[in-house]
Amino acid sequence: MAEKHITRLLVVSHVIHYKWNNAFYAYNPYAREIEIWADLFPRVIIAAPLRNERPPSDCRPFGRTNIEVSEQLEHGGNTWYDKIFRTLSLPFLLIGLANAMSKADAIQVRCPGNLGLLGALLAPLFSPYRIAKYAGQWNGYEGEANSYRWQRDILQSKWWNAPVLVYGEWPNQPTHIKPFFTSIMNHEQIERAKGACVGKRKHIPLRILFVGRLSRSKNVHVLIESLGNLYRKEVPVHAHIIGIGPELIKLQERTAELSLPEDKIAFLGGMNFEDILPEYEWADVLVLVSETEGWPKVIAEAMAFGLICIGSNRGLVPQILADGRGLVIEPGDENALSCLLMDICLGKVDFSSISKKASQWAHGYSLDCLRRAIRDVLIHEWHLTDSDLEDSHEGKDRRPALGR
């Protein structure tokens, strides 16, 4: 590290952070990934919104002492007030980011997000050591925000001209666009998942799981309607819905309207990742039929535990679930979802075959693999040597090819 003096990594992120009891918190999967970067650099400074309040239940404290947060203005929303505030606050955001970048040796910009857009424009002015991660759907989708397209255009351009980590392999991309993946499962958790796959068989009633934010775009209401269809046809199912979000009350009300028994359809709220692992062991099927997805971590996690995953035919999901590793439908098609769940329950789907293929593929995507992959990219793209990055958590496995 001394030779190139890359000691301070600045991460530009729109993710809301929390300071509580003298610790910084953030959304669990994001926090685990940031910890990997903190293993590679002596100091990690995150330029992001910061709230001094108790964090939500799906957040966790950073497990590294070399992570700090440089507070940036928080703004979002789609009301006229939000838009006016964004416009008026733009100079302050630019000054705040420029000040943080001027003190950094290397810069990581996380997109898509408002701060990511500004970060992608500013970072080339401050450091040759920069990298971006685009955590959304790289091939775009109908109805996406214009700012998402702008960010992809900037990151593909000669202005950025630095590595961009994207989910999946897409045609006709510049050479600095790098197919990548993500994970929040460590080696021990992967071993636990392997143990859960031994002799795995589906249950009757069929055990169905959803894990994620309860927002409209996640289409949890499609799952609820499908469960109602199955209940009316007396198909035995039992569902656990894990997560918090703005759709919770509507989903609970719709569940009551459909007369779905509370002991069969359970809303379990937000959970820490460690508490979700027993749910993966319990379940037979994971349903995540979102309108759009980048790299859906919950699908990869569920696959590792041998679940049959039903996803939407959007973004990278069809590649992940290809070759008999899972099933895909149109995101809003509740009848198709009902039919697939019924076929699984009635044995018309080869549960064992899909479970085995899914788990074998997913076991190659651990935090250890992710750490090694990030390290390899930095060494190659920034022309570093092994001694320039200090990695105390050497990867134990190599990731498999994404497609086959």
Please give the structure tokens belonging to residue 136. Answer: 């959304």
- The pLDDT tens digits of the residues spanning 341-353 come to 999 999 999 999 9
Q: In DSSP terms, which residues pair with 266 in a beta bridge?
A: 240
User: Residue 4's pLDDT is what?
Assistant: 62
Q: Do domains 8-182+366-388 and 187-362 have the same CATH topology?
A: yes
Given a cut of 70, the residues of the chain with pLDDT beneath it are 1-4, 76-79, 81-83, 85-86, 390-404
Domain ranges of the chain: 8-182+366-388, 187-362
The rounded distance, in Å, linking the Cα atoms of 374 and 359 is 23
User: Residue 367's pLDDT is what?
Assistant: 83
- Kindly report the three-state secondary structure assignment for every residue of 227-290: HHHHHHCCCCEEEEEECCCCCHHHHHHHHHHCCCCCCCEEEEECCCHHHHHHHHHHCCEEEECC
User: Residue 89's pLDDT is what?
Assistant: 78
Is 180 strand, coil or helix?
strand
Q: CATH homologous superfamily of domain 187-362?
A: Glycogen Phosphorylase B; (3.40.50.2000)
pTM (predicted TM-score): 0.77
CATH architecture for segment(s) 8-182+366-388: 3-Layer(aba) Sandwich (3.40)
Sequence-distant (6+) residues with CB within 8 A of 22 are none
Is 95 buried (19+), middle (13-18) or exposed (0-12) by CB count in 10 A?
exposed
User: Residue 272's pLDDT is what?
Assistant: 85
